Amino acid sequence: MFSGMDFPGAGASKLVIGVGNEFRGDDAAGLIVARRIIEKQLSDIEVVESGGHSAALLELWRGAELAVVIDAVSSGEKPGKVYRFEPIKEPIPQKLFSNRSTHDFGLVEAVELSRALHSLPKKLIVYGIVGATFELGENISKEMALAIEEIIPIIVADIS
């Protein structure tokens, strides 16, 4: 995961951004997905891990043709449920990505600020996977592990 002003992947044509915190249970989902995509060694795809800080997200996807962002969400729905949004076509429901405070000014705000600055990627896809546990020191839930395995081929199809 990068920190500070180091933005590996910034300006990539096709970008996958896994968002999360590997020490907070299901919040690690985006990071795990990113690592699994890296293992596939796809050409012309940049994959990065992010803590979800809005400034980093803005910098990462600026200039991208396609960016896919994966994060865990808390919605009250069944754990493992996957949401898919294309913010250029539809708004992202704020409540999905804001019920936890593990990230600063969050993903939805980053998308809206990027929209206002006319710096959204030409295509942006956001996946939110409903988590069961976000407690410090917890492992990912069984439901999240299954959802991760199911979502990877879908993301690969999105970026291919």
pLDDT along the chain (160 residues), means of 10: 46 88 95 97 93 86 94 92 94 72 69 91 96 92 97 96
* Residue labelled with tokens 């992947």: 9
Top-level class of domain 14-159: alpha beta
**Distances in whole angstroms, Cα of residue 8 to Cα of each of 15, 24, 56, 100:** 10, 24, 10, 26
Global pTM reads 0.88
Closest CA to 72 of 55, 48, 56, 50: 50
pLDDT at 1: 46
Task: Decide if 8 contacts 60 (C-beta within 8 A).
Answer: no
pLDDT value for 95: 78
pLDDT of residue 11: 54
Q: What local confidence, expressed as pLDDT, does residue 62 receive?
A: 87
In the chain, domain spans = 14-159
> Looking at residue 104, what is its pLDDT?
55
Cα–Cα distance for residue pair 23/49, rounded to 1 Å: 14
